[in-house]
């Protein structure tokens, strides 16, 4: 167990998920964090308050979640990899500024440690009820990337990946975890610096006098200059053209919005990450994320002992939705069981991707308790 000269940890550490998110962000090069305490994500920013100064970064506690999101966007525009963390109602407050980050194509990472809701709901209880909020919470059409770790180790690696995706595709990325993963402690083997890929945003090659912040002539992801390095450019939450200035030309706004969506749609294979467990000969596949996927993996092994050919599909990217991974099972399985701690936010998407080629059943739980392996085994028998 050790730290490199700049304070980034390496070696084996016993961490909870919230602390692992902090360490993953630091390993990815995050050097600015703005936040506001809220259960069960407070430990993320609490860790940053102590750790980020050791790598030359800055943590600031803002007056509320709205201001925290604004500060993160500003820091990113100035060229610093930035993060904020929250839960439940705090995420709701961040959404207006998240929409601003979407339309301005500003890289940043938002960690949402999900808890029961709606409103202030069950602050200390686990939930997976912010899945649709992550995709559609900010109004208007916009692309979305959300990653979904299910172990403390993945909380570390997926936070690193969230920063890489954010920088590569020039957009905000959500780390959608839950209270169980956030407060669970596991051993995390943090690799040496350089072992994990770290991606930095594409810088412009054009001189300052000819730079256009949304010039997509070289590809769907425009290079991004940093405020303060000699480039002058306009940023607005209004629909804009390639210069960044507002426009009312419908043809221009349509082109720009389609470009932003295309940079995600055209890169499904690079963005979407899914793990499968014992699916090769499965009759029924459990579709589960986060802490529920942990129960599902044990359920698969139990069901197999009982003669039920059960498998697990565990998305580590929930947005974009893993349609292609589901489509490959058309006509090959009897059904999918969607296990989720909400009232069906993933089920409808799985049904859509199934194209009615197999049955889709649901297992919901919203009583602040985790879905158990025995519940999953029992429901899987009903699918067959």
Range of the domain at 343: 275-383
The answer to whether 306 and 378 have CB atoms below 8 angstroms apart is: no
Please report whether residue 222 resides in a domain.
no
212: left (phi over 0), alpha (psi -120 to 50) or beta: beta
Please report whether residue 183 resides in a domain.
yes
Please report whether residue 49 resides in a domain.
yes
- pLDDT tens per residue across span 118-171: 999 999 999 999 999 999 999 999 999 999 999 999 999 999 999 999 999 999
One domain for residues 182 and 81: yes
Average pLDDT, the chain: 96
> Could you say which of 160, 190, 220 is where a domain stops?
190
Please report whether residue 204 resides in a domain.
no
One domain for residues 161 and 295: no
- pLDDT value for 2: 54
One domain for residues 172 and 34: yes
pLDDT above 50 for 21? yes
**Sequence-ordered strand ranges (E) for 81-195:** 82-86, 108-116, 122-126, 145-147, 172-178, 185-190
pLDDT above 60 for 99? yes
> What confidence tier does 214 reach under pLDDT thresholds 50, 70, 90?
very high
- pLDDT tens per residue across span 373-382: 999 999 999 8
> Could you say which of 158, 190, 222 is where a domain stops?
190
pLDDT above 90 as % of the chain? 96
Please report whether residue 334 resides in a domain.
yes
One domain for residues 282 and 176: no
The CATH number covering residue 149 comes to: 3.40.50.970
pLDDT above 80 for 3? no
pLDDT above 80 for 267? yes
Q: What is the mean pLDDT of residues 27-42?
A: 97
The number of angstroms, rounded, from the C-alpha of 136 to the middle of its chain's C-alpha atoms is 14
One domain for residues 8 and 147: yes
d(CA 348, CA 32): 37
pLDDT above 70 for 202? yes
- pLDDT tens per residue across span 248-260: 999 999 999 999 9
One domain for residues 165 and 29: yes
Q: What is the mean pLDDT of residues 179-193?
A: 96
d(CA 185, CA 13): 10
Collect all residues with Cβ–Cβ distance below 8 Å to 27 and sequence separation of at least 6: 8, 9, 156, 160, 190, 193, 196, 198
Long-range contacts of 247-254 (CB under 8 A, 24+ apart): none
The answer to whether 192 and 10 have CB atoms below 8 angstroms apart is: yes
Please report whether residue 93 resides in a domain.
yes
The CATH number covering residue 362 comes to: 3.40.50.920
- pLDDT value for 384: 73
pLDDT above 50 for 295? yes
> Could you say which of 152, 170, 190 is where a domain stops?
190
Q: What is the mean pLDDT of residues 282-309?
A: 97
The pTM of this model reads 0.96
One domain for residues 55 and 181: yes
List the one residue out of 170, 145, 156, 175 whose CA is nearest residue 224: 170
- pLDDT value for 382: 86
Please report whether residue 340 resides in a domain.
yes
pLDDT above 70 for 1? no
One domain for residues 174 and 300: no
> What confidence tier does 179 reach under pLDDT thresholds 50, 70, 90?
very high
Sheet containing 359-364: give its strands across: 274-277, 310-315, 284-287, 335-340, 359-364
The number of angstroms, rounded, from the C-alpha of 23 to the middle of its chain's C-alpha atoms is 16
Please report whether residue 254 resides in a domain.
no
Provide the number of structural domains found in the chain.
2
The number of angstroms, rounded, from the C-alpha of 345 to the middle of its chain's C-alpha atoms is 16
The answer to whether 144 and 170 have CB atoms below 8 angstroms apart is: no
Collect all residues with Cβ–Cβ distance below 8 Å to 348 and sequence separation of at least 6: none
């Amino acid at each position: 167990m050790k730290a490199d000269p700049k304070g980034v940890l390496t070696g084996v550490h016993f961490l909870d998920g919230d602390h692992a998110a902090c360490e993953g962000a630091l390993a990815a090069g995050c050097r600015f964090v703005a936040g506001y305490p809220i259960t069960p994500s407070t430990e993320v920013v609490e860790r940053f308050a102590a750790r980020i100064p050791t790598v030359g970064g800055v943590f600031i506690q803002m007056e509320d979640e709205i201001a925290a999101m604004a500060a993160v966007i500003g820091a990113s525009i100035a060229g610093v990899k930035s993060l904020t963390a929250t839960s439940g109602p705090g995420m709701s407050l961040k959404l207006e500024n998240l929409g601003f980050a979407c339309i301005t194509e500003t890289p940043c990472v938002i960690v949402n440690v999900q808890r029961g809701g709606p409103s202030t709901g069950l602050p200390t209880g686990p939930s997976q009820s912010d899945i649709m909020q992550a995709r559609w919470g900010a109004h208007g059409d916009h692309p979305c990337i959300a990653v979904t770790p299910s172990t403390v180790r993945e909380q570390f690696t997926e936070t690193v990946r969230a920063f890489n995706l954010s920088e590569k595709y020039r957009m905000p990325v959500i780390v959608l975890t839950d209270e169980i993963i956030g407060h669970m402690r596991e051993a995390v083997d943090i690799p040496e610096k350089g072992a994990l890929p770290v991606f930095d945003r594409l810088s412009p090659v054009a001189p300052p006098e000819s730079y256009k912040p949304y010039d997509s002539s070289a590809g769907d992801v425009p290079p991004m200059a940093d405020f303060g390095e000699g480039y002058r450019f306009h940023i607005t939450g209004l629909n804009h053209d390639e210069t960044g200035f507002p426009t009312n030309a419908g043809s221009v706004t349509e082109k720009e919005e389609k470009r932003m969506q295309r940079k995600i749609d055209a890169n499904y294979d690079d963005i979407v990450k899914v793990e499968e467990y014992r699916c090769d000969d499965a009759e029924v596949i459990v579709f589960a994320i986060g802490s529920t996927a942990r129960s599902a993996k044990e359920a698969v092994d139990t069901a197999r002992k009982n003669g039920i050919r059960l498998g697990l599909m565990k998305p580590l990217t929930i947005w974009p939705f893993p349609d292609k991974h589901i489509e490959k099972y058309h006509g090959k399985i009897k059904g999918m069981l969607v296990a989720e701690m909400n009232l069906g936010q993933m089920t409808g998407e799985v049904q859509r991707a199934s194209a009615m080629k197999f049955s889709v059943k649901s297992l919901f739980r919203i009583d602040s308790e985790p879905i158990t392996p025995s519940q999953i085994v029992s429901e899987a028998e009903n699918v067959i």
